[in-house]
Structure 1
Amino acid sequence: MRILVIEDDDDLADALVRRLRRVGHAVDWQSDGLTASGVLEYEHFDLIVLDVGLPRLSGLDILMRLRERGDKTPVLMLTARADIEDRVNALDVGADDYLGKPFDFRELEARCRALLRRPTGHASEITRFGGLTIDGAARQVTFGEVRLDLPKREYSLLEILLRGLGRVVSKEEISHKLFAFDDDAGPNAIEVYIARLRKKLDGTPLRIETSRGAGYILHADRPPASDDA
């Protein structure tokens, strides 16, 4: 998934970006509030990790502008742990969740996963299609007793197609969600990843169909089931 980190502490931002990229997300970073707000006017992300205290434009102002435009992108606010006022204001303005500094990166990852799952309507990390199991926390896919070998980007591609299950997902949408601004992606990169993923899903309840000139459709032979309570 495509994530924008807006944080002016260089060391923390670098750690956030590296951690989120390590688990397979395409991550961009902005340190200036006004510049970040401008980026959000023309670029769409699946999640925004947003610090409250930023130069030139605060995180709360960025969030307010975002919601005033009707943009419902999930936002995880980063606040000083002791500053209750910032946390209350963030939720009032439209933040989906907040995390106090300092924080454990495992908790950050869990909160990001929860926010990224929200559009799918599933509260659980586990989704099943018959004998195929997708574990969002571990980012692992198993079919029966066999674990499918999906590197980070192939798993991310599967996530993108799953969010559009049964509909055409364009190459442009895939590219936007799979690659960050500074990723070196060749013109045929998507076709290569699609071919690899299609081969690994062969024989499972999921199959990828090419819609010529439009994109790709992920079909499921069995309806999805999750471990939601």
Structure 2
Amino acid sequence: MRLLLCEDEIQLSKALVAILKHSNYSIDAVYNGQSALEYLETENYDVVLLDIMMPKVDGLTVLKELRRKGNMVPVIMLTALGQVDDKVQGLDLGANDYLTKPFETKELLARIRAVTRNQDSAASSLLKLGNVTLDRASFEVSSPLLTIKLANKEFQMLEMMMLNPRYVIPTEKFMEKIWGYDSDSELQVVWVCISTLRKKLINMEANIQISVKRNTGYCLEEK
């Protein structure tokens, strides 16, 4: 599941990114409203966490523009204590929920689960390709033979490939989307995760495989 975090407080943003990645979410973080609009124009997200008070373009304007274009992605507004009018305006503009800062991690995760549950049916949490099913709620991958719970990065990589079957994803794209721009990890971590996923798919007798496209990247395709 992919999230966009729009929060201009750098330390808070980094803390939230770490928490959400630990909870198996794939997340992009931006620090102003203009960047938020640019990301929302080119990428698809399951949930947007949108701070109201942001530089360049404020959160309410971002939300208004988003809904004007017909994008109904669930939005959780992040507000400062006492911004009652902003909360009301956000809900009137089409926000799905709001959180008042400071908030507890468990409440944030519960709100994310709630808006995605309200937005989609249970079936939409399942990604299928060939005889393999990825459950985005339980982080389990299954075939008729076996069900395996994936580690965080493995899950995010397989989810990314199953959302884009037969599409070649460069190694750098995995690094950017899953490990983040500021990660100290080397490209080898992608290779290690790909190797592990391949072995698990073989053990499951999956009829899909991760193919290597030399000097390009990886793609998931049926055998």
Q: TM-score scaled to structure 2, two decimals? A: 0.69
Per the alignment, in what secondary structure is the counterpart of residue 137 of structure 2?
A: coil
User: Does the aligned pair in 1 maintain the 2:7–2:54 contact within 8 Å?
Assistant: yes
Considering fraction of residues, name the structure with more helix. Answer: 2
1:101 and 2:103 equivalent? no
Q: Partner of 1:153 in structure 2?
A: 153
User: Does the aligned pair in 2 maintain the 1:76–1:112 contact within 8 Å?
Assistant: no
Q: Partner of 1:174 in structure 2?
A: 174
1:37 and 2:20 equivalent? no
The count of corresponding residues between Structure 1 and Structure 2 is: 207
User: Does the aligned pair in 2 maintain the 1:25–1:156 contact within 8 Å?
Assistant: yes
User: Does the aligned pair in 1 maintain the 2:168–2:217 contact within 8 Å?
Assistant: yes
Q: Partner of 2:104 in structure 1?
A: none
User: Does the aligned pair in 1 maintain the 2:77–2:90 contact within 8 Å?
Assistant: no
Q: Partner of 1:187 in structure 2?
A: 187
- Runs of 5+ consecutive residues of structure 2 not aligned to the other structure: 101-106
Superposition deviation, residue 147 in structure 1: 2.5
Structure 2 residue corresponding to 1:219, chosen from 202, 218, 221: 221
- Runs of 5+ consecutive residues of structure 1 not aligned to the other structure: 92-96, 222-229
Superposition deviation, residue 104 in structure 1: 5.3
Q: Partner of 2:124 in structure 1?
A: 124
Alignment identity in percent?
A: 25
Q: Does 207-216 or 12-21 show the bigger shift?
A: 12-21
Inter-partner Cα distance in structure 1 for 2:43 and 2:72: 7
Q: Partner of 1:78 in structure 2?
A: 77
Superposition deviation, residue 138 in structure 1: 0.9
Distance 1:111 1:164, change over 3 A: same
1:206 and 2:208 equivalent? yes
User: Does the aligned pair in 2 maintain the 1:24–1:152 contact within 8 Å?
Assistant: yes
Superposition deviation, residue 63 in structure 1: 4.5
Q: Does 176-185 or 19-28 show the bigger shift?
A: 19-28
Q: Partner of 1:225 in structure 2?
A: none
User: Does the aligned pair in 2 maintain the 1:209–1:216 contact within 8 Å?
Assistant: yes
Superposition deviation, residue 141 in structure 1: 1.1
